[in-house]
Amino acid sequence: MTPSPAPDTPPRPQRADARRNGERLLTTARDAFAEYGTDAPLEEIARRAGVGIGTLYRHFPTRQALLQAVLHDRLEALHSEAVLLLDNPAPADALLGWLRSVALHATRYRGLAAALLLGVRDEDSPLSPSCGAVLTAGAELLQRAQRAGQIRPDVTAADLYTLANSVAWAAEETSTSRSESGPLAARLLTLTMEGLRTH
Amino acid sequence: MTPSPAPDTPPRPQRADARRNGERLLTTARDAFAEYGTDAPLEEIARRAGVGIGTLYRHFPTRQALLQAVLHDRLEALHSEAVLLLDNPAPADALLGWLRSVALHATRYRGLAAALLLGVRDEDSPLSPSCGAVLTAGAELLQRAQRAGQIRPDVTAADLYTLANSVAWAAEETSTSRSESGPLAARLLTLTMEGLRTH
DNA sequence: TAGCATACGGAGGCAGCCTCCGATTCGCAA
DNA sequence: TTGCGAATCGGAGGCTGCCTCCGTATGCTA
């Protein structure tokens, strides 16, 4: 146990240069992921941000941690979108529209769908909390639609999350450019989702 | 132009040691892919087969080429299964059953679904001919089911191939062990396919 | 402005890819 | 059988990218 100098004094705040470097890494990483996909070379990101590779690893110990920081806001947005849609008068439409957002988001970077799927499977992943929150929000949306009798009762939120991401993955693997993959994902998702409604 | 000694004499057949090495590499690769997935280290495969890495690359210039050789028979089997099913009296059931085979096959090795999708997208891939044949066979099965009015007319064979593989991919990404991913793929595929029938 | 905790940077070791070319082996022809 | 040329082999070596470790530099507080 390292004795703290004062138990309730918060640890000294981050040094100014450290905060600056962290921010530059973040914005640089965002660009690099967009350009190379989620397996963009980390050394390239450090170089572009004008810091050493050691600095990158100190701020973000794993690629997943960096990705989590880059995605944080977007995942939060998906979460609150789901919460808002709980008030939508058409439960099934609300659910399916939200799933479209999820799938579209997952086509943003090449490799992202895989990372998002890992985020729910592996509880130790830095993405796990954010992905878990998204999944939970989706579950409420689903439950409401199922209670209304509009969606098959045997589908789980995990199924839907998985399907949305897998469709996004397929779109990104199939399309040459990233601009094509969005529409393709939407099209495949529509086909997939048709089977979920009750008849 | 290198002048051939005799225009219609086939070039001298492969030397005995070369043929032997090629075969050993093939069976070794099969095991390695099963163990490590499609990105198994090639040097490991060469080592296990008891040949130098140079020999591996001479026989199979790319990883895709090796994969193609390993998959050849299985893909051919999927093709002929489709042809046989053309005689099945229930067109939609025949199609959906075949898609289940396709998806199950794609869960065989980790990373395989991605390779199979690439095989139809990239015409230069060594997998392209085999994958193309599978896709064509599936298209006939689909056309028959659509003519019978049992499957939505706006679905393409490429859609179905893509969906089957993406579901297989999701199953392999989601499951810890490979033995779980088969059933999960089947379950997700069922959900997906429900929407394809006409009502 | 001195001293210390914090943060930086990049050298270096590792794994895997792929190429290239000197060494080896096969198999035909005499 | 033997000799020879063509076919084949093997792995060293150069490259990219990952990640760790530790000597050095710098911001912050007193």
Å from the B54 CA to the C18 C1': 9
| Separation in Å, CA of A140 to nearest CA in chain B | 20
Q: What is the mean pLDDT of residues B49-63?
A: 98
Å from the A60 CA to the D21 C1': 17
Nucleotide of closest approach to B55 (CA, C1'): D9
Q: What is the pLDDT of residue B11?
A: 64
The reply to whether A21 has its C-beta less than 7 Å from any atom of strand C is yes
Query: A176-179: which pairs have CB atoms within 8 A and are 24 or more residues apart?
Result: A176/B121, A178/A107, A178/A110
A76 within 8 A of A137, measured Cβ to Cβ = no
Minimum Cα–Cα distance from A188: chain B residue: B159
Q: Look at B162 and A155 and tell me if their CB atoms are within 8 Å.
A: no
The reply to whether B4 has its C-beta less than 7 Å from any atom of strand D is no
Counting every residue, how long is chain B? 199
pLDDT band at A193 (very low <50, low <70, confident <90, very high): confident
The reply to whether A63 has its C-beta less than 7 Å from any atom of strand D is yes
pLDDT at B27 over 60: yes
**Cβ pairs A/B, distance under 8 A:** 74
Q: What is the pLDDT of residue A131?
A: 98
Q: What is the mean pLDDT of residues A61-83?
A: 98
Å from the B54 CA to the D7 C1': 14
Q: Look at A173 and B118 and tell me if their CB atoms are within 8 Å.
A: yes
SS (H, E, C) A1-29: CCCCCCCCCCCCCCCHHHHHHHHHHHHHH
pLDDT at A15 over 70: yes
Contacts of A114 in chain B (CB under 8 A): 173
DSSP per-residue letters across chain B: -PPPSSTTSPP-PPPHHHHHHHHHHHHHHHHHHHHH-TT--HHHHHHHHTS-HHHHHHH-SSHHHHHHHHHHHHHHHHHHHHHHHTT-S-HHHHHHHHHHHHHHHHTSSTTHHHHHHHHHH-TTSTTHHHHHHHHHHHHHHHHHHHHTT-B-TT--HHHHHHHHHHHHHHHHHH-SSHHHHHHHHHHHHHHHHHTTB--
B82 within 8 A of B98, measured Cβ to Cβ = yes
Q: What is the pLDDT of residue A7?
A: 45
Contacts of A117 in chain B (CB under 8 A): 170, 173-174
Quick one: B173 exposed, middle or buried, by C-beta within 10 A (0-12, 13-18, 19+)? buried
Written as one letter, the residue type at A190 is T
Contacts of A193 in chain B (CB under 8 A): 195
Query: pTM for the full model?
Result: 0.92
d(CA B161, CA A168): 15
| Separation in Å, CA of B169 to nearest CA in chain A | 7
pLDDT band at A177 (very low <50, low <70, confident <90, very high): confident
Å from the A46 CA to the D21 C1': 18
Q: What is the pLDDT of residue A195?
A: 67
Q: How many CB atoms lie within 10 A of CB B100?
A: 17
A75 within 8 A of A115, measured Cβ to Cβ = no
Q: Kindly tell me the number of DSSP H helices and DSSP E strands found in chain A.
A: 9, 0
Q: Look at B163 and A192 and tell me if their CB atoms are within 8 Å.
A: yes
Q: Which residue's entry shows tokens 């199609």?
A: B95
Nearest residue to nucleotide C17, by CA–C1' distance, is B42
Q: What is the pLDDT of residue B198?
A: 58
